[in-house]
Homo-oligomer: A and B are copies of this chain.
Amino acid sequence: MKPYVEMTKEDLAAEITQLKKEYSDVQAHGLALDMSRGKPCKEQLDLSMGLMDVLNSSSDLYTDEGIDCRNYGGLIGIEEARVLIGDMMENNPNDIIIYGNSSLNIMYDTVSRAYTHGILGNTPWCKLEKVKFLCPVPGYDRHFKITEFFGIDMITVPMTPDGPDMDIVEKLVSSDEAIKGIWCVPKYSNPQGYSYSDETVRRFARLKPAAKDFRIFWDNAYGIHHLYDHQQDYLIEILAECKRAGNPDMVYKFASTSKITFPGSGIAALATSPNNMEDIKAQLCNQTIGHDKVNQLRHVRFFGDIHGMVEHMKKHADILRPKFEMVEEIFDKNLSGLGIGTWTKPLGGYFISFDTLPGCAKAVVKRAKKAGVVMTAAGATYPYGKDPLDSNIRVAPTFPCLEDLEKAASLFTLCVKLVSAEKIYAEKCREEA
């Protein structure tokens, strides 16, 4: 089939009639499917049921150092967990604090602490006229919600397959003291699945921020979440690179086991420099006596070591790979050559990013919803939910089963075709008029 834009008005009208019929047929099926959130599916959760067995009433719940995990204490987490998560994050266990179940919560608390108390003796952000963050777009909606909640101005920076446009990042960061941070999902990014190139990470580590308290919020959410065993993205480790570049304190790095074991009941962690660690611990000791050490121990006993975790991730990949490949296949089959959409083909992570023709994303998501398929809201990948081109849609293929996913992805492509055809048809009418 040729690109819609090259079709005659008459052919397009016929195509629209045909697509509407197909759409009605699907609507009649009363689908109720969800491709909106990056949630693991039941089969993935089942992979970690062994986590429920590693500790029982006969278990020794003491750490190697002799700490009773059941009692109070352990502000930064037990040594064994910091070693395991250190291997997962590629950081020194001494540079790691293990928190509760949510890395999002750590990010919120990190922004909140900077807001209430400042970073390393700098003015608390609440006392400043203006605080700004750079937001590579499209990006992760929950990041943007945190900065929005704190009244922080969000400046968008375009993403490329190599990461954020570093020319823009460098220029802004070095010239504006009000810019205090940037949100990054450096590996298998949300939503594109892009991984930052070596050049990008090198340039991040060598930023010359105007603000002393500028920090990179490095959310390495998908660090070991590969889809393929033999084709994986590697990322330069940012803390080490910043240290080498003479900027040791410039990064807060986040990760969790949410998409490794159980999203609600995993362990989350922050890695950062010794200076930042001391700064954080001076606050954290007022906030809690310690996080859940039994769950830390549970994770350590379940995985044994990083190799155990990597082997475990292969099982996740075996479940997710067919889902990503099916969606990509359906997109290829139904949309290739039509010139009405582009999409990413990630090697890991939880999402595929889809770009419609400008001005079509909202209409596509609405159409899909009316036929029973919930997509992430159009615009969600932009600060304030506003995609200036109205073209980006985040596709989350992990949660539905293959059978549902096939239906959902097919319906989605149908909606893309219908909305695009109608748009192009309307344009052709206007051009004639």
Residue numbers of A with Cβ under 8 A of B are 37, 39-40, 42, 45, 48-50, 52-53, 55-57, 59, 61, 68-74, 100-102, 104-105, 108-109, 112, 115-117, 124, 126-127, 142, 145-146, 149-150, 258, 262-265, 283, 285-295
Contact = CB atoms under 8 A, between A and B. Distances in A.
Contact of A294 (B55, B127, B265, B290): B265
B294 A264 contact: yes
Contacts of A289: 102, 104, 142, 263-264
Given A45-B71, A53-B56, 5 more contacts: A100-B101, A112-B116, A116-B116, A145-B286, A264-B293
**This chain: copies in complex:** 2
A417 B40 CA distance: 64
Given A49-B57, A71-B45, A265 B288 contact: no
Contact of A293 (B70, B73, B265): B265
B293 A105 contact: no
Given A126-B116, A126-B126, A264 B42 contact: no
Contacts of A263: 70-72, 289
A40 to B, nearest CB: 7
A255 to B, nearest CB: 16
Contacts of A127: 126
Contacts of A290: 102, 264
Contacts of A100: 100-101, 291-292
Nearest to A261: B70
A137 to B, nearest CB: 19
A286 B50 CA distance: 31
Counting chain B CB atoms within 10 Å of each CB, which of A124, A146, A265 scores highest? A265
A52 B73 CA distance: 20
Nearest to A48: B70
A260 B260 CA distance: 30
A295 to B, nearest CB: 7
B102 A288 contact: yes
A284 B45 CA distance: 25
Contacts of A109: 287
Given A56-B52, A262-B294, A286 B116 contact: no
A129 to B, nearest CB: 13
A57 B53 contact: yes
Contact of A55 (B39, B52, B142, B288): B52
A262 B100 CA distance: 15
Nearest to A50: B57
Contact of A71 (B73, B150, B262): B262
Given A102-B288, A108-B288, A262 B70 contact: yes
A335 to B, nearest CB: 30
Given A101-B100, A289-B104, A292-B295, A37 B264 contact: no
A263 B289 CA distance: 9
Contacts of A74: 264
Contact of A265 (B37, B115, B262, B295): B295
Q: Which 8 A-B residue pairings sit nearest by Cβ, starting from the closest?
A: A265-B294, A49-B57, A70-B262, A126-B126, A108-B287, A72-B263, A45-B70, A149-B286
A400 to B, nearest CB: 13
Contact of A146 (B49, B72, B286): B286
A294 B52 CA distance: 10
A289 B72 CA distance: 25
Contacts of A101: 100, 291-292
Most buried by B among A112, A263, A264: A264
A70 B104 contact: no
